[in-house]
Amino acid sequence: MIIELIIALIIGVMAGTFTGLFPGIHINLVATLLISSSLISLVSPLTAVIFIVAMSITHTFLDFIPSIYLGAPQEDSFLSILPGHQLLKEGRGHEAVVLTLYGSIFALPVILIFTPIFVFILPMIYGLVALIMPFILIFISLFLIFREENIFSSFLVFALSGLLGLLTFNLPIKEPLMPLLTGLFGVSALFISIKNKSGMEKQKELSLKEIKLTKNEFGKACSAAIISSPFCSFLPGIGSGHAAVIGSELIEQNNKSFLFLVGSLNTIVMGLSFVTAYVIQKTRTGSATIIQEILTKITFQNLMVILLIIILSSLFAFFIGLYISKKASTVLNKISYRLLSIVTLVVLISLTLIFSNFLGLTVLITGASIGAFCILSNSRRINLMGCLLIPTIIYYLF
């Protein structure tokens, strides 16, 4: 039995590495295929749960690599493109990835600390927080817009991306987040880089000792993660992207601390979603939903096993992420950045056609246009978060 569980852990880490590195192959897709196939009947429920948890946590560590190196965002890593792309062009792509890995490792003690807090407090406050959440998001949205120098351009970017988000989620598009986020955050930046013939400095291979945050940067990133992540870990429709917006607007971040922040939030939200499923029997991630389907009811013993697997898979994922990032950094020094951008653009369009059909391609092109307008109008790209904020606000209000 122990050997079966260890094998499930290792295979889960391998699967999470695959889904993390290949945009369009989401953990929910792999988990759903597992449930719908006859494979699930060949193993114990606990074995299947270990596989899903290990895959999900590993995915949160590694999905920043394609986002930063290729500008190919996934559902939970798209905000890393903003500062990550800037560091990449300065020859600091590996540093950008390592900062997200540091953040994901920092998530472990946060998850362990918040677990007993969730167990005792969440049942009492869940209803109240759900009622006030849309008003918190409205405040954040207005704050995003009115802190800009050009309020009209920022409002236009926020509103257009929000309208596109509403349309996308109400159209018959498979994997709607893929073309939406890829267009707004990925393709727009790639297109402008190709058009302007932007170059990239030689990638630097820094050691872990050389990649670090100052005490001030670390304190700001940690505080923002601790303040924003709990709300986004149990409310439906609120993800790590929302948490990053809330955290970064409450406590201002620079590029390095923001990467640490989004890395930590990605893992915290996933880890605490399993705790939420145990405490209030409600799920806010696909992985937690599937685990609840497998176990019917998550027990305290199940939760302890899940927490152990989160720790073990995180350690594996951290070192896998370091290794792959170093290799990717070395490869980038041998090829043309413009050629890489063109190839990546073609791949993203192809993936959109494969996973989201022609309607998805329309969303991709529209999103790229809005994203390009955002960049050219000198609006902060965080305003593109309207694509998720506006649909979420409407979801809660109506």
The average pLDDT across 9-20 equals: 90
pLDDT for the residue numbered 186: 78
The CB density around residue 337, as the number of other CB atoms within 10 Å, is 17
Please answer whether residues 45 and 294 qualify as being in contact, where contact means their C-beta atoms are separated by less than 8 angstroms.
yes
* Burial class, 216, CB count within 10 angstroms (exposed 0-12 / middle 13-18 / buried 19+): exposed
- pLDDT above 70: percentage of residues in the chain: 88
In 30-134, DSSP assigns E strands to none
For the chain, give the percent of residues with pLDDT over 90.
Answer: 24
CA-to-CA distance for 27 and 225, rounded, in angstroms? 23
Mean pLDDT of 29-53: 75
Res 287: pLDDT: 81
Most confident residue range from 6-15, 61-70, 191-200, 273-282: 6-15
Residue 312: the pLDDT is 95
Quote the tokens at residue 266.
Answer: 């990605």
The per-residue pLDDT for 27 is: 74
pLDDT score for 347: 83
pLDDT higher at 332 or 366:
366
Tell which phi-psi region holds residue 91, choosing left (phi > 0), alpha (psi between -120 and 50) or beta. Answer: left
Model pLDDT for residues 177-232, shown as the tens digit of each residue: 888 888 888 788 778 777 776 667 788 878 888 888 888 888 988 888 888 887 77
* Residue 324: pLDDT band with limits 50, 70, 90: very high
Assess whether pLDDT exceeds 60 at residue 75: no
**pLDDT of res. 102:** 94
The pLDDT tens digits of the residues spanning 348-383 come to: 888 888 878 888 899 999 999 998 898 888 887 778
Q: What is the pLDDT of residue 67?
A: 80
- Does residue 318 have a pLDDT over 90? yes
The answer for residues whose C-beta is within 8 angstroms of residue 312's C-beta and 6 or more apart is 9, 54
Which of the given ranges, 230-234, 280-284, 328-332, has the highest pLDDT on average? 328-332
Give the lowest-confidence range in 10-24, 37-51, 269-283, 377-391. Answer: 37-51
Q: Per-residue pLDDT for 37 more than 80?
A: no
- Chain position carrying tokens 């019917």: 296
Residue with the larger pLDDT of the pair 25 and 364:
364
Greater confidence, 279 or 244? Answer: 279
Average pLDDT over residues 296-311: 91
Instruction: Report the sign of the C-alpha dihedral through residues 32, 36, 37, 41, in that order.
Output: positive
Question: 90 by DSSP, 3-state: which?
Answer: coil
CA 203, distance to chain mean position in Å, is 24
Give the integer Cα–Cα distance in Å for 230 and 276.
10
Amino acid at 108: L
Q: What is the pLDDT of residue 244?
A: 76
pLDDT band at 24 (very low <50, low <70, confident <90, very high): low
Mean pLDDT computed over every residue of the chain? 83
Q: How far apart are CA 107 and CA 265, in angstroms?
A: 7
Let me know: does 8 contact 48? Beta carbons within 8 Å: yes
Contact 384, 366 (CB under 8 A): no
pTM of the model: 0.83
Range in 52-61, 135-144, 162-171, 369-378 the model is least confident about: 135-144
Per-residue burial over 94-133, b if 16 or more Cβ lie within 10 Å, else e, is bbbbbbbbbbbbbbbebbeebbeebeeebeeebeeeeeeb
Per-residue pLDDT, averaged over 169-183, amounts to: 85
- What six digits make up the tokens of 74? 């996934």
pLDDT of residue 177: 80
The structural domains of the chain, with segments of one domain joined by +, span: 2-397
Position with higher pLDDT, 258 vs 101: 101
Judge contact between 111 and 310, C-beta under 8 A. yes
Of the ranges 160-164, 252-256, 332-336, which is most confident?
160-164
